[in-house]
Amino acid sequence: MTSPGINFGLGGLPFLAEAKTRSISAENPDGRKAGGAQEVPDGGVAGDLGKGWKVRPCITLPAGSTTTLAEIDGPGVIQHIWITVPPQAYRDCLLRMYWDGEDTPSVEAPLGDLFCCGHALRAKINSLPIAVNPSGGFNSYWPKPFRKHARITVENQRWEDIGGFFYQITYALTEVPEEAAYFHAQWRRSMGTRTYPEHVILEGIKGKGQYVGTYLAWTQLSDGWWGEGEIKFYVDGDVGGPTICGTGTEDYFGGAWGFDDTFSTAFLGYPLWQREPGQVPKHGLYRWHIMDPIRFDEDLKVTIQELGWWPNGRFQPLTDDICSVGYWYQVEPHAAFPVMPGPSGRWSR
């Protein structure tokens, strides 16, 4: 039976459940019952109002530090995460999530990319699991179940402190069905070559699970059309060819004939198309496999090609700069993630 804490559709709202709602923020750092609004003002903007008002709505991330945002004993499911912070944190801060006491994270990505704001640029996202609202309000509704413990951290790898980090993590303490898998997300970056114009979104995924989403932050390094490449899913030992093969980049993200405009919908979108004079074009794209998850029993690899056109009408291999986040659910343990590049390896502008 599906846990009420994991059912985030309208159909489950009338059904009451033995679940307890809790929420962690700077005003209630451990989410305990009746634990909010306990900070005592020391002068400042709340000095005239006293305890119980808006005293500690945000935190500062010290340079070179890792801050634990949440430590939660289970079983339960994280239902909503909201974060806002200045854009300089988008690529220089890493968000990580650990389930049930694991040593390595199941989620590791630059903060902005995880919320479909790559290139350290804001974009408005109007999708079901991810929403980004003016001005930079990050929202995630991916259900994140855990059985024993959940830990969420943010690491500031910038050379300076980052102030004004606001966050709210809302979760249900509830039983988690045996068949529920764990949420994962992984960031990668590569630059295509003329001999191998292909970006790897995921590789080396081991175990049983289902792939649920793709985000790309694509920096175009040549003129002309850039989206002829196909996405490919290699499932359960595929050799020589993929089981699932797309027909073109704009096709996979739900567009057609070169896009010609931006859009953002519940399951797919092309929300960013930056064409400023004197700058290289930048593109942001997302595709959620909510209605059509790609299931695997043993292993998974996901790639996307980089193809444009030569003047003679043949495909041109591109050398574009692509960053991606792949989102999936799987049973633990997960395979090791690639080593995350430092800030200079993630720099975008």
More confident site: 3 or 151: 151
| Residue pair 81/159 in contact by the 8 Å Cβ criterion | no
**Distance (Å, rounded) from C-alpha 66 to C-alpha 89?**
13
Which residue bears the tokens 């179940």? 145
Q: Is the pLDDT of residue 207 over 80?
A: yes
* pLDDT of res. 40: 86
Mean pLDDT of 198-209: 98
User: pLDDT averaged over the chain?
Assistant: 95
Hey, what are 7's tokens?
């059912």
* pLDDT of res. 49: 83
Q: Is the pLDDT of residue 242 over 80?
A: yes
Q: 308-318 pLDDT, tens per residue?
A: 999 999 999 99
| Residue pair 88/158 in contact by the 8 Å Cβ criterion | yes
> All domains of the chain, ordered by start, with CATH?
18-37+45-173 (2.60.120.1390), 182-335 (2.60.120.1390)
Which residue bears the tokens 């609202």? 133
Nearest-CA neighbor of 147 among 102, 196, 200? Answer: 102
Amino acid at the residue 8: F
Hey, what are 204's tokens?
């080396």
Q: How confident is the model at residue 50 (pLDDT cuts 50, 70, 90)?
A: confident
**Distance (Å, rounded) from C-alpha 123 to C-alpha 131?**
10
| Residue pair 156/92 in contact by the 8 Å Cβ criterion | yes
Give 32: exposed, middle or buried? Use CB within 10 Å, 0-12, 13-18, 19+: exposed
Which residue bears the tokens 């080593």? 339
Hey, what are 128's tokens?
């079901």
Nearest-CA neighbor of 323 among 187, 229, 223, 195? Answer: 187
Amino acid at the residue 70: A
Residues 6+ apart with CB under 8 A from 230: 245, 246, 247, 248, 249, 252, 304, 305
Would you call 149 helix, strand, or coil by DSSP? Answer: strand
Pairing of strands 107-110, 182-191: parallel
Q: How confident is the model at residue 220 (pLDDT cuts 50, 70, 90)?
A: very high
Nearest-CA neighbor of 154 among 169, 142, 143, 141? Answer: 169
Mean pLDDT of 272-292: 94
